[in-house]
A and B are shown apart, each in its own frame.
Chain A
Amino acid sequence: GIQVEQSPPDLILQEGANSTLRCNFSDSVNNLQWFHQNPWGQLINLFYIPSGTKQNGRLSATTVATERYSLLYISSSQTTDSGVYFCAGKAAGNKLTFGGGTRVLVKP
C-alpha cells in the first residue's frame, strides 16, 4: 500500500502565528483529504482536495498531485486550532490511508 508521511510531527505556535503542514505520498493518490482531530477526539473533515487550492476561513490547502504532496496552511492561529491534523489519500482501490498526523498546540 501507499505510504503517507506528515511533517512536522509536532508544532507549537503562539496565537496569531501562521504555519504550514506538509503531507507526502509514496505514490499517486486520489481522494486526498485533510482532517482535524480536536482535543476531544472528534475527527472533522477540513478539505477534499485531490488537486489545486481551496480555502475555508483561516485554513487553506494546496495539492500538487504530479509531485505527490499536499500542504495545509493555518493563518492567524487560534487556540481552537489545537489538535491533530491528518492527511489521507487513496491509491488504486477503495482504501483511504492516513498519515501519522501533525500534533498542533496553539498557546494563548
Chain B
Amino acid sequence: NAGVTQTPKFQVLKTGQSMTLQCAQDMNHEYMSWYRQDPGMGLRLIHYSVGAGITDQGEVPNGYNVSRSTTEDFPLRLLSAAPSQTSVYFCASSYSGPGYGYTFGSGTRLTVV
C-alpha cells in the first residue's frame, strides 16, 4: 500500500515553462487536493476534487490547472511558470465522509528561476 505518491520530488523550471506535477493514490479515496507551502504561510489550498470528473478552486488557483479523469490520479499543471510559484507542493487525499483524516504525499519542491 503506497498511500499518496508524488512525482517528481524536486524540479527546477525556467520562467515561462510548463510542467505537470503528478499525484496518485491507491486507497480509493474520493477526495484529493493540492496545497502549496511557502515559508511562514502554512498550507494554502490550490485546487481540490471530490471525485472523478469533478474539480473546484481553492484559495490560490491562479496559474494552475487540474483534472480528475480517474479516482487514483490528480495531476497539477503549471501553464507558464513564474518565480512566485516557487514553493513546496503537497497532494492530499481522503474518503469523503466524516471521520476520515487526510493523507499527504511527500511533496514536490519546485524552484522557478
Where the two chains meet, the residues of A that have a C-beta atom closer than 8 Å to any C-beta of B are: 1, 30-31, 33, 35, 41-45, 47-48, 50, 86, 88, 94-101
Contacts and interface: CB of A to CB of B under 8 A. Distances in A.
A42 B88 CA distance: 11
Given A1-B59, A41-B106, A100 B40 contact: yes
B61 to A, nearest CB: 11
A50 B92 CA distance: 19
Contact of B42 (A33, A95, A101): A101
Nearest to B96: A94
Interface residues of B, number: 26
B102 A96 contact: yes
A96 B45 contact: yes
Contact of A94 (B41, B56, B104, B106): B56
B74 interface: no
Nearest to A30: B98
